[in-house]
A and B are shown apart, each in its own frame.
Chain A
């Protein structure tokens, strides 16, 4: 089966971002950018499906700026066969991304689409579910296990109370949670090979996709800082403080 994997270029997970002085957003100048960690897990899952002989071709797609080519090349180095960049302005809302991905799904006709459950910049946790709505496909979100069983896909999901397994008709949409797999690192030979793999660039216009959003960010502020605390010297002192000062026990 053909598998489509969507990836997003985001600020690296180790970076602690700062809010811009004019409150228009966060400062991303000269900040390390990477593939969203949940998207790495999505790429890894597709590669494992290919290694098992379940997936025949892996197409990786990103909707974002020209620089997202770096993350697409990373996915190619990890084992994706070819890449598509839908080139668009940096700040897109989830629905616009889902619409662009829907257009790519229409074009590519994959049996399975794997996305990260959440991007660590906008923290929205929406795109996979929205793509499922637009395509009319079933969705297995927050997946910790994915198994193809005949014409069905069994997905074990991480839910608040524990784990839930659902059986989905194919084609289907899966979003990854942390325990689905542990992504590999790209080897140097594979990074070199990835440079020669095909990377196609499309535009939302060419796909007939509108990027308008009903959401508008008015301002971005730093969160309220916690006041500095104190170090206690012993467990006895800690208990005394919790009882008499904080009054929480």
Chain B
């Protein structure tokens, strides 16, 4: 059994989500290979070779794979997949974009967002916004799986000495092209990897008021998230949304401020170790999942909290 992990990377190195995915692969068992596909990704391949427990790194360096266009990357993975028992990718927007295309080309069903490995062919995954957990068995010859990163503790980024091999195959479907990108710039930790997350909801009132959360977050070394209501209202950009169809987070501490706690939001954060809710409505459903609830006006409580931590 050999497993291929499709690497996610950013800023010239493998992303933390790749380390969680390698951990899921290690639970399945067998050799773990990592594919780094992109343009000018040699250094990323080198960083992937250091991941603990990885036996081999495949580097597909080609202009066609820049920006992870699925029309080009999926055929590459399909070609490589023939030699593997499983193909895994983190359930990031890249993984979610590309892997179902791979699965359909292989004529197999995908298992999305697994949170545990029961055996080499059986996995658990949340359905209905996490209100039920399904155990799913795959009979596919190549099992195509995306991994919910919060379900698996990351392996060490250093310590491995995998062989690096270049993959020559170039697949350019020629039907899609990258135009532009607007990436959020932040000095704060990445939302899905942060140990502490401070999130704001509709109760924040407007985008400017999020400054209260940013200064609290900076004092705590936290990332800042938001509920769908806050994103839809235009308070903050989409990349901050935590929830069923946004980002899934499971930090040590999640502080929900002015968030009522719709089931769709809870789906994205209820696996956090400790949940704090600050809301002036004592009936808000968020208090049903909070370890510590504070019924208070957030505009008084948040600055005070910032002072005391």
Contacts and interface: CB of A to CB of B under 8 A. Distances in A.
Interface of A: 11, 13, 16-17, 19, 26, 38, 93-95, 98, 117-118, 120-134, 136-139, 141-142, 144, 154, 157-169, 177-179, 213-223, 226, 229-232, 234-236, 238-239, 241-242, 246, 248-249
A138 B110 CA distance: 19
B253 A123 contact: no
Nearest to B290: A229
Q: Which of B127, B293, B309 has the most CB of A within 10 A?
A: B127
B81 interface: no
A222 B133 contact: yes
Interface in B118-148: 122, 125-140
A17 B92 CA distance: 26
B69 interface: yes
Given A17-B131, A94-B109, A229-B293, 7 more contacts: A38-B245, A95-B109, A120-B244, A137-B175, A138-B176, A139-B97, A161-B181
A165 B181 contact: yes
A158 to B, nearest CB: 5
Contact of B128 (A123, A158, A229, A232): A123
B15 to A, nearest CB: 9
Interface string B46-63: 000000000000000000
Contacts of A220: 127, 132-135
Interface stretch (B20-28, B202-210, B270-278): B270-278
B196 interface: yes
A215 B92 CA distance: 22
B80 interface: no
Contact of B184 (A133, A162, A236): A162
A13 B294 contact: no
Contact of B305 (A138, A177, A235): A235
A128 B264 CA distance: 22
Contacts of B133: 220-223
Contact of B276 (A124, A222, A223, A242): A242
Contacts of B165: none
B274 A134 contact: no
> Interface majority SS on A: helix, strand, loop or mixed?
mixed
A219 B134 CA distance: 6
A113 B135 CA distance: 32
A159 B96 CA distance: 10
B43 interface: no
Contacts of B108: 95, 214
B301 interface: yes
Nearest to B105: A133
Contact of B97 (A129, A134, A154): A129
Q: Which of B220, B247, B309 has the most CB of A within 10 A?
A: B309
Nearest to A144: B238
Contact of A13 (B67, B104, B175, B264): B264
The 8 closest A-B pairs by CB, nearest first: A129-B100, A133-B104, A130-B104, A126-B100, A214-B140, A229-B291, A138-B176, A165-B179
A162 B181 contact: yes
A17 B109 contact: no
Given A13-B264, A248-B253, A238 B294 contact: yes
Contacts of A179: 231-232, 238
B21 to A, nearest CB: 14
Interface in B6-51: 10
A234 B241 CA distance: 28
B225 interface: no
Contacts of A221: 132-133, 135
A35 B112 CA distance: 22
12 contacts: A94-B100, A133-B105, A144-B238, A160-B92, A161-B239, A163-B182, A216-B137, A220-B135, A222-B132, A229-B293, A232-B294, A238-B305
A161 B132 contact: no
B180 A165 contact: yes
Contacts of B183: 161-162
